[in-house]
């Protein structure tokens, strides 16, 4: 039984977390209005915009990584549409946060438009040239854009995984769902009722075809650090609900990095960008793990812009239920998964947690042995099969080609449907 002082402490902690969340929301709103007032006029949708394809993003800047990982495939699609004669600027991005708009313009040459108000969104989404709009998350703000009937609406998600969010009934709201591979299609077909198979199109993960450049900061570390196999350790965040509580950093972060470093592994530590945003225990553990990594000659704190080069630099990966684990499959190198510690986290039977060596709660002392066994020869065939099941053909260029081809097919289909309606 909890005694009175403990109850008081719990209430105080809850009040603190609520106050902190309210402060963050208030600060974001206030800061957003100031940023909005400072934006140049060309951030607003322009009368001359003739976008054929677009991406819609309604979240705040702390979720901008979801959109950023699609920027390169969007840029390649834009070039293909230009080559096909659509327009000089056939692809645009519309966001609802001034912070995101400013941030994104530093990441891409694609036109970025901003509108917090319905008037600007109406102007963007009602453009006569617009044929397809892409969505990279399941934000409820997406439904403000989904009300426009003329363009085709395509859900991409910001990564392939077996999180419960990947089988949300919200997928039915979109005209098409671009899936990574047959495992994703099977997952959706076995869970949702009424989403026709012809609305799902496999495109792999086109981001993986982006040329990878190893940053100088890693080259310097690589030349100075003691020898040893390199583990890419990329834990996910705490999640925004018990069903999505796949992150375990607060439970085992220090134990895992300490054990791996002591066992002679070099560790690339890249935490999820939202770690600690909801739970202070994750924030505290993140700080502690970062200190360990910084202070150890075999520890590398990864603060580089994106996930790509790590797939070339690391020999093994240690991950939780996140897109990093599924993208890693393209390397066909050893992968060890970490089981959720929260029993409420929803785990699909027969998925990646069942097919990979799995670190169970409380078994952190055995991580070195798990990593060793994950790299044995008898795992090679299974790694090959998992890569194909989740991503399809991953030969260089094939995933980008599938994405661009699928996008062009949707554009052509919507154009034909609109012509037919005009002729009727």
Question: Domain of 282: which CATH number?
Answer: 3.40.50.2000
Say whether both 69 and 189 belong to one domain: yes
Residue 34, helix vs strand vs coil:
helix
> What is the predicted pLDDT for the residue at 8?
58
Say whether both 155 and 226 belong to one domain: no
Tell me, yes or no, whether 255 lies in a domain. Answer: yes
> What is the predicted pLDDT for the residue at 35?
81
Say whether both 316 and 238 belong to one domain: yes
Can you tell me the distance from the alpha carbon of 120 to that of 293, in angstroms, rounded to the nearest whole number?
Answer: 46
Distance of CA 48 to the CA centre of its chain: 32
Query: If pLDDT is split at 50, 70 and 90, which confidence band does 215 have?
Result: very high
Query: What token pair was written down for 369?
Result: 């042995």
**1 has a pLDDT exceeding 50:** no
Q: Which helix (H) or strand (E) holds 5?
A: helix 4-38
- Whether the full predicted model's pTM is greater than 0.85, yes or no, is yes
Say whether both 182 and 238 belong to one domain: no
**249 has a pLDDT exceeding 70:** yes
Instruction: Write the CATH number for 94.
Output: 3.40.50
**284 has a pLDDT exceeding 50:** yes
Lowest pLDDT segment from 13-17, 321-325, 375-379: 13-17
Say whether both 308 and 280 belong to one domain: yes
Tell me, yes or no, whether 6 lies in a domain. Answer: no
Which residues in 287-325 are b (16+ Cβ under 10 Å) and which e?
A: eebbebbeebebbbbbebebbbbbbebbbbbbbbbbbbb
Tell me, yes or no, whether 282 lies in a domain. Answer: yes
Query: What token pair was written down for 88?
Result: 């000089």
Share of the chain above pLDDT 90, in %: 86
Say whether both 334 and 417 belong to one domain: no
Query: If pLDDT is split at 50, 70 and 90, which confidence band does 38 have?
Result: confident
> What is the predicted pLDDT for the residue at 2?
44
Say whether both 92 and 139 belong to one domain: yes
**113 has a pLDDT exceeding 70:** yes
Share of the chain above pLDDT 70, in %: 92
Give me Rg for the CA atoms of the chain.
23
**241 has a pLDDT exceeding 70:** yes
Say whether both 169 and 244 belong to one domain: no
Mean pLDDT of 363-392: 94
Say whether both 310 and 416 belong to one domain: no
How many of the other CB atoms lie within 10 Å of CB of 205? Answer: 25
Count of domains forming the chain = 2
Q: What's the domain range around 240?
A: 216-391
Mean pLDDT of 230-251: 96
> What is the predicted pLDDT for the residue at 99?
96
**30 has a pLDDT exceeding 80:** no
**326 has a pLDDT exceeding 70:** yes
CA angle (11, 13, 14) in 5-degree steps:
65
Mean pLDDT of 64-86: 97
Which residues in 127-155 are b (16+ Cβ under 10 Å) and which e?
A: beebbbbbbbbebeebeebbebeebbbbb
**212 has a pLDDT exceeding 70:** yes
Tell me, yes or no, whether 14 lies in a domain. Answer: no
Mean pLDDT of 274-286: 94
| Token pair 């600007």: residue | 120
| Dihedral sign (CA 184, 186, 187, 189) | positive
Query: What token pair was written down for 300?
Result: 């590398």
CA angle (369, 384, 230) in 5-degree steps:
40
Nearby residues of 275 by Cβ (< 8 Å), 6 or more positions away: 235, 237, 238, 247, 249, 282, 283, 286
Query: What token pair was written down for 414?
Result: 């919507």
Say whether both 221 and 348 belong to one domain: yes
Can you tell me the distance from the alpha carbon of 316 to that of 229, in angstroms, rounded to the nearest whole number?
Answer: 8
**391 has a pLDDT exceeding 80:** yes
Contact 313, 293 (CB under 8 A): no
Distance of CA 289 to the CA centre of its chain: 22
Pairing outcome for strands 316-319 and 335-338 = parallel
> What is the predicted pLDDT for the residue at 27?
56
H helix count then E strand count, the chain: 16, 13
Polymer length of the chain = 424
Tell me, yes or no, whether 172 lies in a domain. Answer: yes
Say whether both 302 and 407 belong to one domain: no
**29 has a pLDDT exceeding 70:** no
Can you tell me the distance from the alpha carbon of 85 to that of 50, in angstroms, rounded to the nearest whole number?
Answer: 12
**299 has a pLDDT exceeding 60:** yes
Tell me, yes or no, whether 2 lies in a domain. Answer: no
Mean pLDDT of 150-172: 94
Residue 367, helix vs strand vs coil:
helix
Q: How far apart are the first and last CA of the chain?
A: 73
**75 has a pLDDT exceeding 70:** yes
Query: What token pair was written down for 67?
Result: 């959109």
Say whether both 250 and 366 belong to one domain: yes
Pairing outcome for strands 316-319 and 132-135 = unpaired
Tell me, yes or no, whether 72 lies in a domain. Answer: yes
Q: Is 189 exposed, middle or buried, given 0-12, 13-18 or 19+ CB atoms closer than 10 A?
A: middle
Tell me, yes or no, whether 323 lies in a domain. Answer: yes
Across the chain, mean pLDDT equals 92
Mean pLDDT of 127-141: 96
């Amino acid at each position: 039984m909890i005694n009175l002082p403990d109850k008081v402490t719990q209430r105080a902690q809850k009040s603190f977390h609520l106050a902190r969340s309210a402060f963050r929301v208030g600060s974001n709103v206030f800061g957003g209005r100031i940023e909005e007032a400072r934006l140049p006029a060309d951030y607003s949708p322009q009368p001359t915009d003739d976008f054929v394809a677009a991406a819609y993003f309604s979240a705040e800047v702390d979720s901008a990584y979801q959109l950023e990982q699609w920027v390169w495939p969007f840029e390649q699609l834009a070039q293909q549409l230009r080559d096909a004669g659509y327009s000089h600027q056939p692809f645009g991005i519309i966001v609802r946060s001034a912070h995101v708009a400013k941030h994104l313009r530093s990441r891409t040459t694609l036109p970025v438009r901003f509108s917090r108000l319905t008037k600007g969104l109406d102007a963007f989404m009602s453009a006569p040239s617009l044929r397809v709009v892409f969505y990279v998350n399941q934000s409820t703000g997406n439904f403000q854009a989904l009300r426009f009937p003329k363009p085709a609406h395509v859900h991409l998600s910001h990564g392939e995984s077996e999180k419960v969010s990947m089988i949300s009934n919200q997928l039915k709201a979109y005209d098409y769902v671009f899936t990574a591979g047959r495992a994703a299609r099977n997952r959706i077909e076995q869970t949702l009722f009424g989403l026709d198979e012809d609305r799902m199109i496999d495109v792999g993960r086109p981001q993986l075809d982006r040329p990878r450049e190893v940053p100088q900061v890693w080259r310097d570390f690589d030349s100075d650090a003691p020898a040893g196999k390199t583990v890419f350790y990329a834990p996910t965040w705490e999640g925004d609900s018990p069903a999505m509580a796949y992150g375990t950093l607060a439970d085992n972060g220090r134990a895992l990095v300490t054990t791996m470093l002591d066992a002679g592994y070099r560790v690339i530590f890249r935490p999820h960008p939202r770690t600690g945003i909801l739970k202070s225990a994750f924030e505290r553990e993140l700080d502690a793990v970062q200190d360990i990594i910084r202070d150890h000659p075999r520890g590398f704190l990864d603060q580089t812009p994106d996930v790509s080069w790590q797939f070339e630099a690391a020999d093994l990966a240690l991950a939780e239920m996140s897109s990093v684990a599924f993208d890693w499959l393209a390397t066909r190198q050893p992968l060890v998964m970490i089981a959720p510690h929260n029993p409420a986290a929803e785990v699909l039977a027969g998925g990646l947690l069942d097919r990979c060596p799995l670190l169970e709660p409380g078994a952190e002392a055995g991580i070195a042995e798990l990593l060793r066994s994950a790299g044995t020869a008898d795992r090679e065939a299974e790694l090959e099969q998992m890569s194909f099941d989740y991503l399809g053909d991953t030969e260089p260029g094939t995933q980008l080609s599938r994405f661009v081809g699928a996008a062009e097919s949707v554009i052509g289909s919507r154009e034909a449907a609109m012509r037919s309606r005009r002729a009727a």
